[in-house]
Amino acid sequence: MAKRKRDSHRSSSGLTRRRLLATGAASAIVAAAMPLRRSYAAEEVVYATWGGSWEEAIRKAWFDPFTKKTGIAVKTVTGPDYGKIRAMVKANHTEWDVAEVNPDFQWIGPREGLVEPIDYEIVDKSVLLPETDFITPYSVPEAIWSKTMVYNTKKFSLEDHPKSWKEFWDLKRFPGKRTLYSKVTGGALELALMADGVPHDELYPIDVERALKSLDKIKDEVIWYDTNAQAVDIMANERAVLASMPDGRALFAIGQGAPLAIEYNESQLDWTSFVVPKGAPNRAGAMKLIAYMASIEGQAAIALAYTYGPVTPKAYNLIPPERARILSGGPQQRGKYVLVNNRWWGENRDKVSERFDAWRLS
């Protein structure tokens, strides 16, 4: 062994200056030709999240225990925007390993070649909800959540507050600013149709022009938010008195003392999903992390840390009944929600988004 080390040292030190320069020049040419990639530790997964109180919860419920169990660190970046995923993949410069997305991306991502297939040899899909569209070859459900009506308890009482989207649209009876999600998939179009009298089972396919005419009636009183964290800030600081926002974010704000309450009637039941962007630098680590988050134990942990519902039915065996009653899709919401048609959104998002954004800017 000692002789081999000496020989190796002699060989290395014996390079001529000309040969060394030539080797360095060749390496530089090769490096210049290679696409730039994220510099990352082999034992690190980069996770794109929506941030805010949700990020705090998933750090506690998922990332810290996962790192303790596997030794793989999880680094978070904020803003899993579809445009960013497109740009990274097309530039062959993917920086993220896992992104949490709305489920319309379950169809957009594969159609555009933006995501990796899920390795179901690692991720156990047998424990997940069997509902149609929850699981695809390219995505795994993350959590169940709801877009609910939220009202300011200083302005409206338990007895006298809007209890339907038709009443939410009533500016005379319930005056004040409203806040709605600015993205086309944020629920505003469906809410507008319900406010205009469309039955719940006839919301899809969405009549976009009818929805926009309905939104015209409250447009001047709407504050549009771009992130769920902004919605919490707008309502907690009383810049608006009514909102459509995720129930988990509202409950978090209520827990922090914000004067808010939730009306579950006509809520929109939805879910979020995990995807792995095409060319993810640490694809293997990404699959391990997703497997952990989607496990029965992982889903129970996030349900205890946040109020979004688990996507593994057996997780309820690990959740106290009093906690289960406030989770998305729980007893308080049964029979009161409309299930979002994410397959329709996956097929129509781009063209509807263009029309919706033009209307908002008009």
For the chain, domains (ranges, CATH) are 44-144+272-324 (3.40.190.10), 146-268 (3.40.190.10)
- d(Cα 133, Cα 125) in Å, to the nearest integer? 13
Task: Supply the pLDDT for residue 35.
Answer: 40
Q: Residue 19: which H helix or E strand, with range?
A: helix 17-33
Structure confidence by residue, pLDDT tens digits, 260-281: 999 999 999 999 999 999 999 9
Q: Provide the percentage of residues in the chain whose pLDDT is more than 90.
A: 81
pLDDT at 41: 52
**Mean pLDDT, residues 25-52:** 61
Using CA atoms, how far apart are residues 133 and 131, in angstroms rounded to an integer? Answer: 6
Over range 142-161, report the average pLDDT.
96
**Tell me, what's the pLDDT at 265?**
96
The predicted model gives 13-33 an average pLDDT of 39
List all residues 6 or more positions away from 47 whose beta carbon is below 8 Å from its beta carbon: 63, 74, 75, 76, 77, 96, 97, 98, 99, 100, 289
Ranges 81-90, 155-164, 327-336: which has the least confidence = 327-336
Amino acid at site 232? V
What is the average pLDDT score of the chain?
A: 89
Mean pLDDT, residues 130-140 taken together? 91
Tokens of 43: 């034992």
Confidence of residue 30 (pLDDT cuts 50, 70, 90): very low
Residue 308 scores a pLDDT above 50: yes
In this prediction, residue 42 carries a pLDDT of 57
* Tokens read off for 199: 């039955």
Polymer length of the chain = 362
The alpha carbon of residue 339 and the mean position of all alpha carbons in its chain are separated, in whole angstroms, by: 17
- Asked if 156 contacts 170 with a C-beta cutoff of 8 angstroms, the reply is no
Give tens-digit pLDDT for 340-355: 999 999 999 999 999 9
Average pLDDT over residues 123-137: 92
Q: Which residue has the tokens 């995990």?
A: 274
Q: Is the pLDDT of residue 18 over 50?
A: no
Q: Give 54's contacts (C-beta < 8 A, 6+ positions apart).
A: 228, 248, 249, 306
* Degrees to nearest 5, angle at CA 146 with 108 and 97: 40
Evaluate if residue 301 carries a pLDDT over 60: yes
| SS3 at position 57 | helix
Distance CA 232, CA 327 (A): 18
Q: How far apart are CA 10 and CA 24, in angstroms?
A: 19
Mean pLDDT within 335-343: 92
Q: Are strands 98-101 and 140-152 parallel, antiparallel or unpaired?
A: unpaired
| pLDDT beyond 80 at 26 | no
